Amino acid sequence: MLNKIKETIAQLEQSKRIRILYACESGSRAWGIPSPDSDYDVRFIYVHQLDWYLSLCNRKDTITVKDEESDLDMTGWDLRKTLQLMKKSNAAPLEWINSPIIYHEAPGFLRRIQHIAATCFSPNALNYHYLSMARKFYDKCNSDEPVKLKTWFYALRTALNARWIVENETMPPTIFKDTLSLIDPSLKKEILALIALKGTKNESFVFEKEASLLNLIQTSIALSEQHKTELPGSKVNMHEMDKFFQRMIPKPNKHDHKRAKKSKPFTV
């Protein structure tokens, strides 16, 4: 699969006239809780040539590639879109740049964007995001019908991520089992057994309602709700973000500079 991903990256760079700065795994594989039939959810960040950003047209700033035969699902965001969302402490790009599975990186890019992200991280905003997701998944798990095991993990992950932010005011660990340090050892043992089970069952596998897990999710949501107004916001440095963005855009080559020198000067 790694070769397939790298080939797709090279093809996209050539066909789209872009430079891919970073590509990683997202979703269950990055969280350490994949099923045997889990897709490869690859997410990437890219930049266009300078002239793309100088157009007055509204242009598409996402790229999607799906290959059902190889279970490959790739989605990329233009760097400007990525930074605009990161500025709001959007969870997606913050999770991407903390993925433990990296497929591609332009030299020095990850270190620089992680530095930018540190100023954008808002415990308040991110806690709100995970809380909202946790409530939605809790309602599904608390329904009368059995739900998929992966839905239980979505509920557990988002609820524990919200709780992590309240208790630590830092970005939650990407690997799900690292958040289990928040809970009682007996519950941790139960969830670790579920992780092992998920590794043997396809994503369609359903799981009966479990009172101990429901209580954990509900308690974590309640704790986060109680303390959410106490969480700080971000301290975004827009000047630094602009400089980083400008630095990442490919510069015109020497041929373009020579052609520009031969052209007549602009007059009004």
Q: 139 versus 252: which is more confidently predicted?
A: 139
191 and 247, same domain (yes or no): no
43 and 83, same domain (yes or no): yes
98 and 162, same domain (yes or no): no
- Is 16 within the bounds of a domain? yes
Q: What is the pLDDT of residues 54-92, one digit of tens each?
A: 988 888 999 999 988 889 999 999 999 999 999 999 999
188 and 133, same domain (yes or no): yes
What mean pLDDT, rounded, does the chain reach?
92
pLDDT at 264 over 80: no
86 and 109, same domain (yes or no): yes
Q: What is the pLDDT of residues 89-124, one digit of tens each?
A: 999 999 999 999 999 999 999 999 999 999 999 999
Range in 76-80, 145-149, 255-259 with the lowest mean pLDDT: 255-259
Radius of gyration of the chain (CA): 22
What's the CA gap between 82 and 94, in Å, rounded? 9
Percentage of residues of the chain with pLDDT beyond 70: 94
Phi, psi at 105, each rounded to 5°: -150, 130
Instruction: Domain of residue 194: give its range.
Output: 123-230
167 and 195, same domain (yes or no): yes
Q: In which band, very low, low, confident or very high, does the pLDDT at 251 lie, cut at 50, 70 and 90?
A: confident
Helix axes 211-227, 185-198, angle to 10 degrees: 110
112 and 47, same domain (yes or no): yes
pLDDT at 268: 39
Tell me the CATH number at 197.
1.20.120
- Is 224 within the bounds of a domain? yes
38 and 148, same domain (yes or no): no
Q: In which band, very low, low, confident or very high, does the pLDDT at 258 lie, cut at 50, 70 and 90?
A: low
- Is 27 within the bounds of a domain? yes
- Is 263 within the bounds of a domain? no
108 and 6, same domain (yes or no): yes
> Number of folded domains in the chain?
2
Q: What is the pLDDT of residues 182-198, one digit of tens each?
A: 999 999 999 999 999 99
Tell me the CATH number at 100.
3.30.460.10
- Is 34 within the bounds of a domain? yes
155 and 221, same domain (yes or no): yes
pTM over 0.85: yes
What does the H/E/C string look like for the chain? CHHHHHHHHHHHHHHHCEEEEEEEEECHHHHCCCCCCCCEEEEEEEEECHHHHCCCCCCCCEEEEEEHHHCEEEEEEEHHHHHHHHHCCCHHHHHHCCCCCEEEECCCHHHHHHHHHHHHCCHHHHHHHHHHHHHHHHHHHCCCCCEEHHHHHHHHHHHHHHHHHHHHCCCCCCCHHHHHHHCCHHHHHHHHHHHHHHCCCCCCCEECCCHHHHHHHHHHHHHHHHHHHHCCCCCCCHHHHHHHHHHHCCCCCHHHHHHHHHCCCCCC
β-strand 206-207 against 147-148: which pairing, if any? antiparallel
Q: In which band, very low, low, confident or very high, does the pLDDT at 265 lie, cut at 50, 70 and 90?
A: very low
- Is 262 within the bounds of a domain? no
Q: In which band, very low, low, confident or very high, does the pLDDT at 255 lie, cut at 50, 70 and 90?
A: low
214 and 246, same domain (yes or no): no
- Is 265 within the bounds of a domain? no
199 and 215, same domain (yes or no): yes
Residue 118 identity: A
- Is 267 within the bounds of a domain? no
